[in-house]
Amino acid sequence: MTARVAYVGNEANAAGYRLAGARPYVPAPEAVAAAVDQACAGSDVVILSAACAQRLPAGRVESLVSQVSPLLFLVPDAPLEDIGARLRRELGLEP
């Protein structure tokens, strides 16, 4: 049996989770609660970004974390870095 995994967060991180097989949800700030509800309804595991978790009422996050199913993970948001600047640094073109 394969676990159904969902990710709720920003678009850049969602692309990576999609490559790993998760179903991504990239909600607008006002639609985070609905996206979390939708992800929870159709998944065994939900990965929720810290930024999206902050848009939910504290009681809602505690309730989600305490549930057995779906299993919820809170993950920090990876910094969105300028890939061009990083490549120039890595290649030694910039300090």
Helices (H) and strands (E) in the chain, counts: 5, 4
**CA 74 from centre of chain:** 8
Q: Using the predicted structure, report yes or no on whether residue 81 has a pLDDT greater than 80.
A: no
**Average pLDDT across the chain, whole number:** 88
Taking residues 5-17, report their average pLDDT: 91
Phi, psi of 46 (to 5 degrees): -120, 125
Distances (CA, A) of 86 to 17, 79, 81, 89, 94: 21, 12, 7, 5, 9
Residue 88: how many other CB atoms lie within 10 Å? 13
Q: What pLDDT score does 41 carry? A: 93
